[in-house]
Amino acid sequence: MTRAAVLMLMQSPRHHKEEEFSETHEAHEHKMTKDTAEKWVSHMRTADGKSVSPPWTMEQAAQVLHQRNWNCDPVEFWAIMVALWSDHCAVARKYGVDNVDFWADMAKSWLDDPDAEPDKAWRYYKYVTKH
């Protein structure tokens, strides 16, 4: 492999997007805001393409966090809980695990991913989803 090819492989698209981000946005926009989460959730569709209302309100998701004594951003937690449900509810139903406990655990696990860059929820919204 040529030196140029190695250098190209080392430069992931994520780093290019980060450079673009730094040039055009303020640092505080790295965080998922309530408005952004509500906008995102309002446009979510299940795997069959149907637009759906979220199965939980932001307040209900915050109650789950409080009951479990988890230290997560409640806005991110709610958005990710709904996003995971929206994308995977058919599979969860197939295996009989479509319940709030399952989705809460999945959202917490997703947010606590040790391999992820900081602000994973915001980055996922910004760079992966259609919005």
Residue-wise pLDDT tens digits, 82-124: 999 999 999 999 999 999 999 999 999 999 999 999 999 999 9
Angle ∠(29,33,39) on CA atoms, nearest 5: 110
Contact 54, 82 (CB under 8 A): yes
Q: What is the pLDDT of residue 47?
A: 80
Q: What is the pLDDT of residue 20?
A: 43
> Residue 37: CA atoms inside 13 Å, Cβ hemisphere, count?
21
Confidence (pTM): 0.77
Of 86, 78, 88, the C-alpha closest to 56 is 78
53: left (phi over 0), alpha (psi -120 to 50) or beta: beta
Q: What is the pLDDT of residue 50?
A: 78
CA distance 2 to 128: 31
Mean pLDDT value across residues 65-72: 96
Q: What is the pLDDT of residue 21?
A: 43
Those residues whose C-beta lies under 8 Å from the C-beta of residue 122, and which sit 6 or more positions away, are 29, 30, 31, 32, 36, 76
pLDDT band at 30; cut points 50, 70, 90: confident
Phi, psi of 130 (to 5 degrees): -85, 130
Those residues whose C-beta lies under 8 Å from the C-beta of residue 95, and which sit 6 or more positions away, are none
Q: Which two tokens stand for residue 107?
A: 């959202």
> What percent of the chain stands above pLDDT 90?
68
Beta bridge partners of 45: 51
Residue found by looking up tokens 């290019």 in the block: 16
Mean pLDDT value across residues 61-81: 97
